Amino acid sequence: MTFLICLCVLILDRISKFIVQKTMYEGESIPVLPHIFSLSYIKNEGIAFGLFANHSGAWLALVGFLTVGIIFILLLRLKTINLWITLSFGLILGGAVGNLWDRIWLGGVVDFIDIGYKNYRWPAFNLADSMICVGVLMLLVTINKK
């Protein structure tokens, strides 16, 4: 089931990024809720929030591969896996694979969700980033319950 969730996240991520790439030009921003939410096509050549943008794309892809590998190993070693853990790992894995796909084929990750208030903006992100964050939060909640 983890891999089915991963596949669903990957498909949604690919579709959303495909639509952005085909309907917008890089650097374009379309206000949805003025001053709060925009669709802004940005190619992030770093990792989260543009960190390490000056590093080699190959190095960042390697980090992505290692992340996916660690998740696989954790899944194989877990003795008990409940629905919450299954969902959280599926979301994290799907998001990681979605961003790794971009990094390998495009040399950077397509980001397009732009939120904030007026000039106070959160760095742009995408569905894969969102799924990774939700998955990690779910995993933390699960771990803290035990």
Catalytic: which of 13, 102, 111, 114? Answer: 111
Instruction: Give the span between the Cα atoms of 94 and 82, in whole angstroms.
Output: 18
The one catalytic residue in 13, 102, 114, 129 is: 129
Predicted pLDDT of residue 1? 87
Buried b (16+ CB within 10 A) or exposed e, 52-72: eeeeeeeebeeebeebbeebe
The per-residue pLDDT for 48 is 63
**What pLDDT score was predicted for residue 43?**
93
Respond yes or no: is residue 13 known to be catalytic.
no
Name the residue ranges covered by the structural domains of the chain.
2-145
Q: What is the pLDDT along the chain (146 residues), one digit of tens a residue?
A: 889 999 999 999 999 999 999 999 999 999 999 999 999 999 988 666 555 556 556 777 888 889 889 988 888 887 777 889 889 999 999 999 999 999 999 989 999 999 999 889 999 999 999 999 999 999 999 887 75
pLDDT at 35: 92
Q: Does the pTM exceed 0.75? A: yes
- How many CB atoms are located within 10 Å of the residue 118 CB? 8
Which residues contact residue 38 at a Cβ distance below 8 angstroms, ignoring those fewer than 6 apart? 29, 30, 31, 32, 114, 115
Query: Residue 13 has what pLDDT?
Result: 98
What whole-number distance in Å separates Cα of residue 133 and Cα of residue 86? Answer: 15
State the pLDDT at residue 51. 58
